[in-house]
A and B are shown apart, each in its own frame.
Chain A
Amino acid sequence: MNSVNPAARFLGGARSLRTRLLVAFALLGVSTAALVAGVDYVQARDIILQKAQDTAVLTITERIETLPPLGDLPPSQATLDEIAGRLSGRDDTAVAVYRDRRSVGRLDPDTLPRELRRAVGEGIVVWQRVSMNGRPVLVIGTQLRLGRPGRPAQPPGGSALPPGPATQPSELEIYSVRSLEPEQQSIARLATRAWLTGAVALVFAVLLAVLAGRGVLEPVRELRRATNRLGEGDLTARAQIRGTDELADVARTFNNTAETLERHVGDLRRMEAEARRFVADVSHELRTPLAAMTAVTDVLDDEAQRLPGDAGRAARLVSGETHKLTRLVNDLIEVSRFDTGTATLALDDVDVAEAIRATLRARGWSDRVRTDLPQGVVARLDPRRLDVIIANLVSNALRHGAPPVSVRTHVRPDRLDIEVGDGGPGLAPDVLPHVFNRFYKADTARARSEGSGLGLAIARENARLHGGDLTAANRPAGGAVFTVHLPRPGSEPGDTR
């Protein structure tokens, strides 16, 4: 899939090496950064929070311990308020609770988490981070214990009585709430830094991936380019060898293989060219003696009837075979011209209908062939070659097919099709793919026909020389049809057809 998106083109698709490399590097970079930054962040956050909490607890404890002595239980409202007031600070609010009485203030003990209040009864300082009104706060809770007021009595004799515990619980509870927003901001800053680190790591990883990719992909692309060129027929294609790694080895192997291939193909082409030249030369050489023999075939024919018995037959035989040989040699020369690419077109503006009719007329086929030729169709063709094609097709139809033999023309703006069909048995399915092969004779029983076996091959080459083609098929209604396809490169001004 070809995408115009330059990013997609750069990546080369989801499965490409570059994408995989990029993803792998990105994942590695990001996960490592995430791990490190994450651990860092978590630790730092915990430290920040712990410090804040410890500081807050210490502060509260200190404040409690420096309260003016409490001598009144149950505490009056004023006492509660005073306690709460003394325990509150700039950044935190405290509430003192005695049974169902509480100090007056913003902080409502009922909004405090129940488990915290329960834990306070254990006689220890407890704290908890909660979210109040969407903001993070630290709630500290503790009993307010009281020192024992009594003076330990000295029994006579000096040994002291077992003292009681230094403090005892009142039923006073203190709760302090402190916003953790400053801490949250610090932590948020940490988080941002961590994200930034991650992003930088990602970018860095991607860059690294691109660089690494280039180191791998360039040689691969180079190899692919060379292979493509080789595949398209350029046997001189070689891959540039960079570096000394495995890819360089592959490139070297490729080059060696390409060189061997080039050599072999060169050899084969040379041999083929030599073979073709040989055929051409031989055929050419044959022309001269054949010319001499052909010149006197008429004499032989004329005198044959006057020669006694065998001599007459012999004379006619030689005459006939000379003609055949001439035809074969001419065909061979035609074929070798096609093979070496030296065949040329002698184009003329040809009235197609008239030309076909002339072909039929010259061979005396006008009565035996039905024609359906639109009038006035002029095409730029080589008339001699057209004659060769039509003559071969009609002669085949008459000889190997069966009447009715027809020649039909179909005119299109860009193409001209000439169909030669017969009403015979058609082409057998095993014959059809080989019918244009050289020297292919379909009916092996009829070992020697008049043709050289090159007729259809030459006809097709002639059609192709014009830039068209010759195809064979069986008609659904029965019989074979050969179609000559000829291009008509645009119509001339003044040509109304």
Chain B
Amino acid sequence: MTRRPLLALVVLIAVLSAGCGVRPSGVIRGGPAPAAPAEGVNLYFLANSSLILMRRPTRQHLSPTQTLVLLQDGPDGDERAMNLTSEVPTGLDPITVTIDASGNVEVVVSADVTTLSNTAADQIVCTVGDALSTTAPITLTSKAATRGPRTCPLAG
């Protein structure tokens, strides 16, 4: 007769002991990731043919045109060490970036936009978008052709 209550007592104690202390947990999700303050200029190059964000320190704020000039210069030493590439050809300048009244962004380059690969176009669009801090679609225009409007595939 005393066996069953004793057993219950033992089980109780076992359960209590098991729940003691700090137990490992699963992954707990919290709020959005914090951001460090920013400076520099964003450039988009390619790592294994997929867009990757790069940043370069600058002393002063660069205009979108100046940013694009940097882009067409391609990855620098560090970036090349990471095996980054770029499909943006040189000789795009003179480059002009205009925004019209209805909010359409246009990038005029001297090279033929139709010869640009999609990836190169993305690079340009993303870079310009970051430079303008906007997600508005951007149209690429050359002498005769237009590409876009396009938006940057990297949602951010």
Per-residue CB contact flags for chain B residues 61-83 toward chain A (1 = under 8 Å, else 0) read: 10010000000000000110010
Q: Tell me the chain A residues, 117-144 only, with Cβ under 8 Å from chain B.
A: 119-120, 122-131, 136, 142-144
A70 to B12, CA, bound (A): 55
Q: Which of B88-137 contact A (CB under 8 A)?
A: 99-101, 103, 105, 129-136
| CA A23 to CA B10, docked complex, whole Å | 13
Q: Is B2 touching A163 in the complex (CB atoms < 8 A)?
A: no
Residues of A within 8 A of B25 (CB): 128-129
- A45 to B22: give the CA distance in the assembly, Å: 8
Question: Considering the complex, which residues of chain B in the window 49-66 have a beta carbon less than 8 Å from any beta carbon of chain A?
Answer: 52-58, 61, 64
Interface: A148 (CB within 8 A): yes
Report whether A150 and B132 are in contact in the complex, using a CB–CB cutoff of 8 Å: yes
- Tell me, in angstroms, the Cα distance from A171 to B35 when the chains sit together: 12
Instruction: Count residues of B near A (Cβ-Cβ below 8 Å).
Output: 60
Decide: A64 near B135, CB < 8 A? Known: A24-B5, A115-B27, A191-B20: no
Nearest-CB distance from A156 to chain B (Å)?
6
Contact among A15, A26, A73 for B55, CB-based, below 8 A: A73
With contact pairs A70-B36, A161-B136 given, residues A127 and B30 touching in the complex (Cβ less than 8 Å)? yes
Tell me whether B56 and A71 are in contact (CB under 8 A).
yes
Known contacts A65-B34, A119-B29; is-contact A73 B54 (Cβ 8 Å): yes
How far does the alpha carbon of A125 sit from the alpha carbon of B136 in the complex, in Å?
29
Are B156 and A124 in contact, with the CB atoms below 8 A?
no
> Separation in Å of the B8 CB from the closest CB of chain A?
7
Write out the residue numbers on chain A whose beta carbons fall within 8 Å of the beta carbon of B153: none
Are B37 and A128 within 8 A (Cβ)?
no
Q: With an 8 A cutoff between CB atoms, is A494 at the interface?
A: no
- A71 and B12: CB pair below 8 A? no
Contact B19 A74 (CB under 8 A): no
Establish whether residues B5 and A149, one from each chain, have CB atoms under 8 Å apart when the complex forms: no
A145 touches B5 (CB 8 A): no
Q: CB-CB < 8 A to B58: which residues of A?
A: 71
A126-B29, A161-B103 given as contacts; is B22 within 8 A of A30 (CB)? Answer: no
B38/A161 in contact, CB under 8 A: no
Binds B, one of A182-190, A215-223, A438-446, A483-491: A182-190
Residues on B with C-beta less than 8 A from A19 are: 2
Bound Cα distance A1, B106 (Å): 104
Contact B36 A71 (CB under 8 A): no
Cα–Cα, bound, A129→B39 (Å): 35
The size class of the interface chain A forms with chain B is: 35 or more
Q: Which of A7-66 contact B (CB under 8 A)?
A: 14-15, 19-20, 23-24, 26-27, 30-31, 34, 38, 42, 45, 49, 53, 57, 60-61, 64-65
Residue contact B30 to A163, C-beta cutoff 8 Å: no
Nearest Cβ on chain A to B120's Cβ, whole angstroms: 20
User: CA–CA, A374 to B93, complex, Å?
Assistant: 153
Tell yes or no: A168 within 8 A of B by CB. yes
A376 within 8 A of B: no
| Cross-chain contact A169 with B38 (CB below 8 angstroms) | no
Q: A151-B61, A167-B35 are in contact. Are A180 and B53 (CB under 8 A)?
A: no
Contact A30 B105 (CB under 8 A): no
Q: Is the CB of B33 within 8 A of A145?
A: yes
Confirm or deny: A162 has a beta carbon within 8 angstroms of a beta carbon on chain B. yes
Residues of B within 8 A of A (CB): 1-2, 5-6, 8-9, 12, 16, 19-42, 52-58, 61, 64, 78-79, 82, 99-101, 103, 105, 129-136, 154-156
- A-B contact list, 30 entries, CB within 8 Å: A23-B5, A23-B6, A38-B16, A42-B19, A45-B22, A64-B35, A65-B34, A65-B37, A70-B40, A71-B57, A73-B40, A113-B27, A124-B31, A124-B32, A125-B29, A129-B22, A136-B24, A142-B34, A149-B55, A151-B61, A151-B133, A153-B99, A155-B100, A155-B103, A157-B101, A159-B101, A162-B136, A164-B129, A187-B21, A188-B20
Known: A144-B35, A184-B21. 15 other contacts (CB 8 A): A20-B1, A24-B5, A70-B37, A73-B53, A73-B55, A74-B78, A115-B27, A124-B33, A144-B33, A149-B38, A150-B42, A162-B136, A164-B134, A168-B53, A188-B21
